[in-house]
Amino acid sequence: MPGHARFTVEERREHLLELGLRLFAARPYDEISIEEIAHEAGISKGLLYHYFPSKRDFYVACLREVAAELSLITRADPRLSPGERVRASVSAYLGYVQLNLLNCQAFVRGGIGADPEVAAITEGTRRAIWERMLERMGVSSEELLLRVTIRAWVSFVEIAALEWAEAGAPEKGQLIEVIVAALVAVIRTSRRPEATPEDRPRR
């Protein structure tokens, strides 16, 4: 990398985040040292600490980049039909997880253990995604069951995507259909009028 004098503060920070994403995507958090990060960046540890006070701060900043990318890639073209938007978003998400598995494992499962800031980043991203879905579907604040089940569906997609990528990413198209079918079932069942006593299964 060229000498740091050729970069503005913001440009240098962006380069460091790009490097961090590559490193944390290749190996677990605990295997990467500040010395290695600085060496790979071609700068001193002192300069690295100028941008990020600790390895944890650097990791959290990288995680925020992942969160921003996830939020962006799951925004499908509004001109598509609702079903097409869901499929496009899920396909883009699966592709991202496949290419950035370790980063996504850290995002979903937490790469540095129980950390309130990391939890806030991941939960905030999930909330932004499912609230965007609720808004597009016209879900009212009174539809509490649907709001709860959509939130659970988002978690289901996260886990399914990780398991799929860890298994070698088989049959992507079929997984997309399973995920979409699960969403359809969630919506239909959550919005179905409550069963009458005669309709309920007998014990």
Q: 90-99, 110-119, 135-144: which has the highest mean pLDDT?
A: 90-99
Is residue 8 predicted with pLDDT exceeding 60?
yes
pLDDT top residue among 91 and 69: 91
Is residue 184 predicted with pLDDT exceeding 60?
yes
HSE (CB half, 13 Å, CA atoms) of 140? Answer: 3
Q: pTM for the full model?
A: 0.74
Give the CATH number of domain 4-53: 1.10.10.60
Mean pLDDT of 186-196: 77
In percent, the amount of the chain with pLDDT more than 90 equals: 44
Domain boundaries, the chain: 4-53, 64-191
Reading the block at residue 67, the tokens are 């969160």
Q: 93-102, 130-139, 174-183: which has the highest mean pLDDT?
A: 174-183
Whole-number pLDDT of residue 199: 44
pLDDT digits (tens, 9 = 90+) for 23-34: 887 787 888 999
pLDDT digits (tens, 9 = 90+) for 22-75: 888 778 788 899 999 999 999 999 999 999 999 999 988 988 888 888 888 888
Q: Which CATH number fits domain 64-191: 1.20.120, 1.10.10, 3.40.390, 1.10.357?
A: 1.10.357
Contacts of 77-85 with C-beta under 8 Å, sequence gap 24+, read: 82/136, 82/137, 83/180, 85/136
64-191 matches 4-53 in CATH topology: no
